[in-house]
Structures are given as structure tokens and as C-alpha cells.
Amino acid sequence: MQESSEEWTEKYRPKKLSEVVGNGKAIEELKEWADAVVKSKKAVILHGPPGCGKTSAAYALASERGWEVIELNASDQRNAGVIKSIVGPATTSNTFSKATRLIILDEADNIHGNEDRGGTKAITEIVKRSTQPIILIANDKYGMGRALLRNCKLINFQRIKTGTVFRVLKEISNKEGIAINDEAMLILAKNANGDLRSAINDLLAISMSESKLEGGKIATGERDIEEDIFDVLKKIFGGYEMQEALTSLYGLDKTPEESIQWLYKNFSYQYNDKSFLHGLQYLSRADMFLGRARRRENFKFWRYTSSLMVCGVLSAREMLREKRMQRYFRSPWQREQRTGESIKSMPVSDDVAKKIAEYCKVPVSYARFFVIPFLTILFRDDKKATDITASLRLDEPQIASLMCGTDKEEKAKRIYHGAFAIAVKKRSVAKVEVGEELIKTKEVKSQKSLADFF
């Protein structure tokens, strides 16, 4: 009888760091942290997608160094009291043999709910005063509090490449005597999407039901694959139902703070003025919850932001009468790397935001997030664009960044010259007014007052 999948994954779990595959750079960083743990931060966060070797690396490190392991995983109750009573003493005292204790907290990004109440705060306090090394394992580093992130070293694990997964599966199948051809093995490796643990489980599951495994007998359905941002935008803006759009957004490997920037950028290009303002109400509420998540370090608010973002787009879509375009744009906050071009220290939109902030006496983030989307609408009117340009003293690239269309460079040049003329006229008027004011002042001073006669 075949062993269970748990026994298989444990049976082939790496015993040394050199046996952990697919994340050489992360392993080297983990070794450096372990070598300097006395002087450096006591805690490290291993974060990355499931099945990429984070837990295996932690146990392999303990095995190599001869460290005693104390683990607290998701199946345990992890509220503040439990963490302080179990993990707390282990981090501040040594055993009689003075052996180093490694505390491993698995699924550290899932400490939520009533059962784990106060857990994140307790872990942060323990990390600050610990004398023993601590490894926190998480799929999403943003699922933990900001205070905890500041006090830990971060090491990122990547999805394991298909070729590496294939080699591991091949080695296991040879050891287990499984008759499977390379075509079937490759399909298993591709379907795993970088999750080695799942690939091993799949290999066991199908080996129990088939005597000889071939490519044609392997289902080609893929696992939950990280969706490309432009595919997600198509689903959100392109007429899909809310649940499908939400599922697409959840599958994206971006935080809500990044996602909302992409939505803001594309929102003004997709909808007319009325529908834009209607949908913006929902997006502004989403931004409020993002602010609360940052201030309170409670990232459970993120679940509301995603729903509000999608609702904002869908509600605007219902009001839309004129579809503008089906092209999607990069977020202006994402610096675009281009070969052969000099990369500016800051995007043009940031320069515009600074000028708006200085003129309106508002924070730069407010100008970037709330004012610029409205300017893209106002700049559709040449007269308004010219007046705003004159007030903010924008240059041609900055004007062009607020416009859309194929001939926006020509329009930007025309608006710039018009704004320059307005600015010159204002300066001339200002000089005349200052001159007149000086003459009036001299005339007033030349008049004798009653006090001059005494």
C-alpha cells in the first residue's frame, strides 16, 4: 500500500539547506542571517507562495546548526496568552545544555479571528526582546503588522521553476519505482505552478490509480495561477460579473494599495464625467479603508477595499453611455524600465503632484491620488487646461501626462504657449499694480499730518 501524501512530503523533505531547491539566493540570505543572528535582528520572515520551500528551509537550518526547534503552527491556538506562555519563555532562556532554540511560527500571516486575538501584538513584543532566533513563515508579508515587519529581516522565496519541479518529480518516481513517462511528468510540473509540495502530492495521487502514467492520462487543468494585471483589468472593466471580477482581483499578486492605483489610472480613460464621479465615490471609500489598515495595522480591512474597488468600477459601468476605449494603461506610480533610455528619478505625475500640493497647500499624496484624476477630465477643455497650466506653471511633458489622444504632444505645446502668454500678462499687470501702489504710498507720505505742526 502506498504511503500517505503527508508521509511522502515528509519523507523527501530536505535535511540540509543545500538540498532545498529553486531558491538559492534566499538560502544564502538565510545562512548569512543565521551566521550573524547574535548581532543582527533575531527574527526573520520567510515569505513567498505555497510550496516553495520556506518551511523546509527553516527545519533544514535547524538540523544543520543543531538547534532545538519549537514550532507553533496554524492548527494551534495562537492568541496573546498562548504565545506569551509557550513562545515567550523559550525566547529569553536557554536549556541546561545552553543549546540554541529556534522558534518557528508557521502561517504567521494568518493570525486573525477571535481564536488568535492579540497574537500579532504578542509576537511583535517577543521579537523585540528575544535572545533566541525566530523564523516566521508567511505566504503574504502584508498580512502581518507593520511594527512586526520593521523588527524582522525579510527573505523572499520565489515560485520554483517548472524544470526544477520536473527534476525533483523524476528523482522521486525513480526511487519509488513509479512507471511514468516524461510527457506526463512535465504536465504535472507545469500544472503545479511552482508549488513543489502540490506536485509531489499529485504524483502520489495519480500513481495510486494508474499502473502506467502517460501524458494523455494526466489532466491539464492548472492551479490558481497568478493573473496578469492587464487580464484582471479586462475582467473588471470588460463586463464580467462582480464575483468573477473579485476572484480575478484576489488572484493578483499585488496589494490593494497597488491595485487601486492601477484602477485610478484607467478609470478616467474608460468612463465619462458623470459615471466617473459616481464610481469615484466607491473608490474613495476603498481608500479610506486602506488608510485605516495602515494606521491601525489591521489588514483585515483589505477585504473591504477589494469589494469597494470592484463595486466602483461596476457601478460606473452601469451608468456609462459611451464606451471610450479598450486599451489599458500602466499605473503612473510604477516606474517603467526601458532599455537605452535614461530613467528619471521620479515619474512626471509626481512632479505634477508636487506642484499641485504647493499651489493648493495639500499633501502630495492627496494631490496625486485625488486631484490628478480630476485634472485628466478638466484638461479635455483647452481653455481650462491653459488656465490651470498657467497657475501651476506646468511644462510640456507634465501637460502631456494629463492628456489623452494621439496628438497630445501638439496640444501640450499649444496649451503651454497659451499659458506662457497668460503668465506674462499677469506679471505685467502685477508690475503696474505695484508701481501704482508705490505712487499712492509716496503721495500719502507727502501729505502733512496734524502732528507735523508740533
Residue 261, pLDDT score:
80
| Contact (CB, 8 A) for 256 and 306 | yes
pLDDT digits (tens, 9 = 90+) for 267-315: 767 766 667 777 777 888 888 888 877 777 666 677 778 888 887 777 7
Q: Which of 153-162, 190-199, 238-247 has the highest mean pLDDT?
A: 153-162
Residue 49, pLDDT score:
86
- The class that CATH gives domain 162-217 is mainly alpha
Chain position carrying cell 497574537: 119
| Contact (CB, 8 A) for 308 and 290 | no
Give me the phi and psi of 186, to 5 degrees please: -65, -40
Residue 429, pLDDT score:
54
Tell me: pLDDT of 444 over 80: no
Residue 323, pLDDT score:
46
| Contact (CB, 8 A) for 34 and 65 | yes
What is the average pLDDT score of the chain? 74
C-alpha to C-alpha distance for 268 and 437, rounded to whole angstroms: 46
Tell me: pLDDT of 53 over 60: yes
Q: Binning pLDDT at 50, 70 and 90, where does residue 122 land?
A: confident
Residue 242, pLDDT score:
72
pLDDT digits (tens, 9 = 90+) for 4-13: 444 678 888 9
Share of the chain above pLDDT 90, in %: 13
Q: Provide the residue ranges of all domains of the chain, joining segments of one domain with +.
A: 5-156, 162-217, 229-319
Tell me: pLDDT of 203 over 50: yes
Nearest to 307 by CA among 365, 249, 264, 231: 249
C-alpha to C-alpha distance for 312 and 277, rounded to whole angstroms: 10
Q: Binning pLDDT at 50, 70 and 90, where does residue 452 land?
A: very low
**Which of 147-158 are b and which e, b meaning 16 or more Cβ less than 10 Å from the residue's Cβ?**
bbbebbbebebe
Tell me: pLDDT of 445 over 80: no
Tell me: pLDDT of 63 over 50: yes
Tell me: pLDDT of 173 over 50: yes
Residue 424, pLDDT score:
78
Residue 11, pLDDT score:
86
Sign of CA dihedral 392, 398, 399, 404: negative
| Contact (CB, 8 A) for 246 and 214 | no
Q: Compute the residue count for the chain.
A: 454
Residue 224, pLDDT score:
45
Q: Binning pLDDT at 50, 70 and 90, where does residue 240 land?
A: low
Nearest to 196 by CA among 21, 374, 438: 21
| pTM for the structure as a whole | 0.49
Tell me: pLDDT of 375 over 90: no
Report helix angle 256-270 to 229-237, nearest 10: 50
Residue 168, pLDDT score:
93
Nearest to 134 by CA among 119, 122, 107, 152: 152
**Which of 336-356 are b and which e, b meaning 16 or more Cβ less than 10 Å from the residue's Cβ?**
eeeeeeeeeeebbbbbbbebb
Q: Binning pLDDT at 50, 70 and 90, where does residue 255 land?
A: confident
Tell me: pLDDT of 430 over 70: no
* CATH architecture, domain 5-156: 3-Layer(aba) Sandwich (3.40)
Average pLDDT over residues 35-53: 85
- Give residue 119's Cα distance to chain centre: 23
Q: Binning pLDDT at 50, 70 and 90, where does residue 221 land?
A: very low
Report the DSSP beta bridge partners of residue 135: 44, 104
160 burial type by CB count under 10 A (0-12 exposed, 13-18 middle, 19+ buried):
buried
The set of residues, in sequence order, having a beta carbon less than 8 Å from that of 234 and lying 6+ positions away, is 328
Report the DSSP beta bridge partners of residue 213: 180
Lowest average pLDDT, out of 113-122, 129-138, 327-336, 359-368, goes to 327-336
Q: Binning pLDDT at 50, 70 and 90, where does residue 184 land?
A: confident
Q: Binning pLDDT at 50, 70 and 90, where does residue 115 land?
A: very low
- Bridge-based pairing state of the strands 134-138 and 152-156: unpaired
Give me the phi and psi of 244, to 5 degrees please: -70, -40
Q: How far apart are the first and last CA of the chain?
A: 122
Give me the phi and psi of 260, to 5 degrees please: -65, -30
Average pLDDT over residues 29-41: 85
